[in-house]
Structure 1
């Protein structure tokens, strides 16, 4: 019987990928708009400011919202790109895009271009506009969209753009969400693919982290994945896992062997991995926010592997310890 999977994580991986390779994102999903942007002017990410103008958690599977300031090629005008990645059907999306566009324009007094990447599983859902009117007055918005389901899998495997790989990871996470072994096989295939693109070490490591975050596996399959990655590192002579991470993994494995003598091999191994992950997260939190309160250390000691992974993802965006654990 297939192993049940924990929920996929999309938000942090998509945001990390967008920040790492934003021009590639535009070239892959919105090539006509990409051609109108002056890429000699560095894009400015302003999505942190969205919360300051009243943007809360949106319903309906919106997994990433970004605000990016760019310069147009012909006019030198600066415009704001409001980008949404939407993973589920949501009838309120068009109205929400209109509302966000009006509020962003009101705050910054810059023209706003709204873009939606539809990452849901309904091939027929393709919202593109929202309009309301009365007595000759019409208000509304039309926005650009791209749909992940429109991309051919064979072409994605052949494409050199990093967002072809992100698309494959997202689609695989959806398609194989009920079969842990099938998702493990896909995750390993995409990880091996990283080395075949001729990318820089920085890009390989960035995309490796995106794949690992997004394609969430149960603990037994994730342990098998880590061991396959370590073997791949030796073959390719490139570290995907940092020495610190590897040290904690090795430490966790040794603890697992000891625990296994008392609790059974598999259970003990998983507990060792969990303890190693908790220690690694404590080290990362201390480096980012300073010495940890005793209450936080106790939470880490009691946490499940899924909780530890969720908190690790939260470090990417959090500005305080409180934000990590909320």
Structure 2
């Protein structure tokens, strides 16, 4: 599992992170009736290895109005959208229900517990895939539409969140997203200072360590590629390191941002040029262009001058 995926999974293995994610980003009335003190991970005693083997899935349960409510959290870090995510979620929720029945968690007299299917997306491109099964199934006249599955999932697209979407009060999930969106060492230090204060209690040592590991192994290498990052074991040490390197890293951070901006501009220009010559491009072609490096975009920009079709643009 890549470091980014593993680190996120580790962060959301802590109940307070899941509680803050739901409190801060699920704006529905039922949340007020949840007893977050009862949050617990669904483990081997509830479902088989077949359901828990997927490394990007985390399943929690919590008391809601005296009964269990399940949260199926799927972490999605691919750079491209999964158009059929709703199909995946329908399958996973169905498997969860199946395992609850098999494990005698639900009797013949019981109704099935509610499930919140939640996709946390961290990809570079905006999420455009349907969030409902109904959108993926062709409508058939004559009554057949009554049998169409209608599962919906809640999407949290980190890249699409604006500052006003993030809770201003203490919220650990929002702090994580702010770290992702930081524009320089100064932004990082402000969030880390707050985290160090929020996670000062001894019982929060594990989560404090998880944030430290994620910042060192994932966030900083992505922000300042090639920089030597010293060993740090605590958020306070991370803040000290950022303070000592703020001037140099701010410059590197800014230059990387400019480079990424130029690449995005080149990709957008190529899309416009191709659509003027060949008509609207499908999503797969747009994604291919968005994922290309600067040198490849330059080559494709030259190819468009002589290409007779879309595929000739991509000729190497």
In our comparison, the structure showing a higher alpha carbon Rg is 2
Q: Give ranges in structure 2 of 5+ residues lacking alignment.
A: 102-111, 241-316
Matched residue count: 211
Which residue in 2 is equivalent to 1:82? Answer: 72
Kindly indicate whether the alpha-carbon contact (under 8 Å) linking 1:66 and 1:82 is maintained by their aligned counterparts in 2: yes
CA distance in 2 between counterparts of 1:43 and 1:171 reads 28
TM-aligned CA deviation for residue 80 of structure 1: 1.9
CA distance in 2 between counterparts of 1:66 and 1:156 reads 22
Query: Which range is displaced more, 31-40 or 95-104?
Result: 31-40
Which residue in 1 is equivalent to 2:219? Answer: 215
CA distance in 1 between counterparts of 2:238 and 2:176 reads 23
Q: Give ranges in structure 1 of 5+ residues lacking alignment.
A: 1-6, 58-62, 177-181, 234-326
TM-score, normalisation: structure 1: 0.52
Q: Structure 2 vs 1, CA of residues 228 and 43 (structure 1 numbering), >3 Å: closer, same or farther?
A: closer
Is residue 28 from structure 1 mapped to residue 19 from structure 2 by the alignment?
no
Query: Which range is displaced more, 201-210 or 122-131?
Result: 201-210
TM-aligned CA deviation for residue 167 of structure 1: 1.0
- Tell me the C-alpha RMSD between the 2 structures: 3.8
TM-aligned CA deviation for residue 99 of structure 1: 0.6
Is residue 11 from structure 1 mapped to residue 6 from structure 2 by the alignment?
yes
CA distance in 1 between counterparts of 2:235 and 2:199 reads 21
TM-aligned CA deviation for residue 155 of structure 1: 7.1
Q: Structure 2 vs 1, CA of residues 50 and 11 (structure 1 numbering), >3 Å: closer, same or farther?
A: farther
CA distance in 2 between counterparts of 1:9 and 1:70 reads 27
Which residue in 1 is equivalent to 2:269? Answer: none
Q: Structure 2 vs 1, CA of residues 44 and 25 (structure 1 numbering), >3 Å: closer, same or farther?
A: same
Is residue 128 from structure 1 mapped to residue 131 from structure 2 by the alignment?
yes
Which residue in 1 is equivalent to 2:98? Answer: 106
Is residue 119 from structure 1 mapped to residue 111 from structure 2 by the alignment?
no
Cα deviations by residue, 1:202-242 (Å, 9 ceiling, x for unpaired): 44762453243242536853118679944968xxxxxxxxx
Q: Structure 2 vs 1, CA of residues 166 and 86 (structure 1 numbering), >3 Å: closer, same or farther?
A: same
Provide the secondary structure at the position in 1 that maps to 2:4: coil
Which residue in 2 is equivalent to 1:279? Answer: none
Moved over 6 A (4+): 224-228
Kindly indicate whether the alpha-carbon contact (under 8 Å) linking 1:43 and 1:69 is maintained by their aligned counterparts in 2: yes
TM-aligned CA deviation for residue 91 of structure 1: 2.0
Kindly indicate whether the alpha-carbon contact (under 8 Å) linking 1:87 and 1:120 is maintained by their aligned counterparts in 2: yes
